[in-house]
């Protein structure tokens, strides 16, 4: 099988697993497959945390946190997505990083759980529908459409690339995690 076919097959397989896992509970965090993406990113191996001197961090979490933080910066420079994140961007523009810090933690926790981490929990807005409905979350500037969703996925891939995460198999799996949430997050 050609490499592109293998990747495509992988995306379809993982997508179908996630879609069937989410069919009954569309708003819950996706159920990871085995071996998990978290393990492939380094899993529970403890490494020095470059952002907090003297502290250790799971390698899988460090990878995901790095991708999340880079992605937030990619989004901040993305004309198409800026309107959605106007509350966050206005805060950061005035020197207030409280919302950024909370979003970084919540998104990192979310992706840790979604990719199979065992030692973290996601404590943000439980429902991804509610988190992305401006009527229920005033930090969401407007309802997302498919074009915005596609741009978001592209920005995550760009954020991953900034951290050296370019392995097509890993990107496919990450893409499948994102894709499994499209119907809950796209609301117009
Ligand atoms: C699979 C894709 C996505 C995932 C997993 C995701 C996940 C999340 C999570 C976990 C939060 C934090 C909720 C909380 O505060 O407790 C959040 C917030 C948010 N998301 Fe998403 N999201 C996705 C796609 C999108 C898209 C496509 C948009 C817009 C086009 C978007 C816009 C936002 C905004 C504006 C916030 C609030 C940010 C803030 O705190 O200021 N998200 N998202």
Among 185, 186, 187, 188, residue to substitute to test ligand 1 (most atoms within 8 Å of Cβ): 185
Lowest mean pLDDT: which of 13-27, 59-73, 81-95? 13-27
Ligand 1 atom, smallest distance to 91 CA: 41
Residue 124 vs residue 20, higher pLDDT: 124
Q: How confident is the model at residue 22 (pLDDT cuts 50, 70, 90)?
A: very low
Residue 26 vs residue 73, higher pLDDT: 73
Ligand 1 atom, smallest distance to 151 CA: 27
Distant-in-sequence, close-in-space partners of 40: CB < 8 Å, separation ≥ 6: 170, 173
| Confidence (pTM) | 0.86
Ligand 1 atom, smallest distance to 181 CA: 1
Query: What confidence score (pLDDT) does residue 24 get?
Result: 40
Rounded to the nearest whole angstrom, what is the distance from the C-alpha of residue 162 to the centroid of ligand 1? 20
Rounded to the nearest whole angstrom, what is the distance from the C-alpha of residue 133 to the centroid of ligand 1? 10
Sign of CA dihedral 28, 167, 11, 16: negative
3-state secondary structure the chain: CCHHHHHHHHHHHHHHHHHHHHCCCCCCCCCCCCCCHHHHCCCCCEEECCCCCCCEEEHHHHHHHHHHHHHHHHHHCCCCCHHHHHHHHHHHHCCCCHHHHHHHHHHHHHHHHHHCCCCCCCCCCCCHHHHCCCCCCCCCCCCECHHHHHHHHHHHHHHHHCCCCCCHHHHHHHHHHHHCCHHHHECC
């Amino acid at each position: 099988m050609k490499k592109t076919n293998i990747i495509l097959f992988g995306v379809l397989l993982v997508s179908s697993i996630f879609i069937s896992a989410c069919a009954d509970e569309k708003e819950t965090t996706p159920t990871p497959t085995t071996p998990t993406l978290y393990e492939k990113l380094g899993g529970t191996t403890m490494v020095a945390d470059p952002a907090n001197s003297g502290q250790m961090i799971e390698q899988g979490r460090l990878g995901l946190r790095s991708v999340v933080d880079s992605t937030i910066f990619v989004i901040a420079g993305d004309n198409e997505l800026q309107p959605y994140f106007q509350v966050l961007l206005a805060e950061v523009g005035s020197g207030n990083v409280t919302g950024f810090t909370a979003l970084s933690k919540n998104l990192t926790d979310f992706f840790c759980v979604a990719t199979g981490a065992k030692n973290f929990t996601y404590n943000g807005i439980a429902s991804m529908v509610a988190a992305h409905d401006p009527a229920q979350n005033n930090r969401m500037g407007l309802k997302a459409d498919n074009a915005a969703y596609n741009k978001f996925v592209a920005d995550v891939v760009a954020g991953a690339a900034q951290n050296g995460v370019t392995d097509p198999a890993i990107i496919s799996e990450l893409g499948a995690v994102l894709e499994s949430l499209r119907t809950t997050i796209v609301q117009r």
